[in-house]
Copies of this chain bind each other. A is one copy, B any other.
């Protein structure tokens, strides 16, 4: 029979071990994300996938913040983060460091997530505001757009869910 594992049986990293560990060469950029719940969730997901850094841009809330902590559950201590006034500045900075930047959006000429090939290069993934998405001028400066194919009635998935799906697909262990 399959038995549930307790926290101490999972051999998770300590915060110090996390900081010392080799990270996945991926940065998440949050472009004016309004909900602190979504920011916290981004930290928790970034922790689970051992991401290098979260870049919080514009009006996106920053730690320390009680609302962020409710969903981050401590992951603001493990995952490195920084804040930029504008998303365009953040992208310029990452381009100088040889990151390839992709917006996650629904757009013409997008690459379906299941068709996206991660060649192991340094990636920056931009996720947008809950209502307005990633700004068009931000998309214009990216190398491309990644789209999660969707079949239902709604415009798009929640940003927290989108971050999880994209990180999983790009970083999951190969079979």
Contact = CB atoms under 8 A, between A and B. Distances in A.
Which of A5, A37, A112 has the largest count of B CB atoms less than 10 A from its CB? Answer: A5
Contact of A152 (B18, B106, B144): B18
A47 to B, nearest CB: 4
Contacts of A44: 154, 157-158, 161
A41 B159 CA distance: 10
A33 to B, nearest CB: 15
Contacts of A106: 4-5, 10
B71 A158 contact: yes
Given A114-B172, A151-B13, A153-B18, A107 B3 contact: yes
Question: Which range holds the interface residue count of chain A?
Answer: 35 or more
Contacts of A14: 153
Given A108-B3, A149-B173, A174-B114, A10 B155 contact: yes
A69 to B, nearest CB: 12
A152 B78 contact: yes
Number of copies of this chain that the complex holds: 2
B4 A105 contact: yes
A78 B153 contact: yes
B74 A153 contact: yes
A3 to B, nearest CB: 5
Given A7-B155, A73-B154, A78-B153, 7 more contacts: A3-B108, A5-B107, A37-B37, A47-B153, A113-B172, A114-B173, A148-B168
Interface of A: 1-5, 7, 10, 12-15, 17-18, 21, 37, 41, 44-50, 71, 73-75, 78, 103, 105-110, 112-115, 133-134, 136, 139-140, 142, 144-145, 148-158, 160-165, 168-169, 172-175
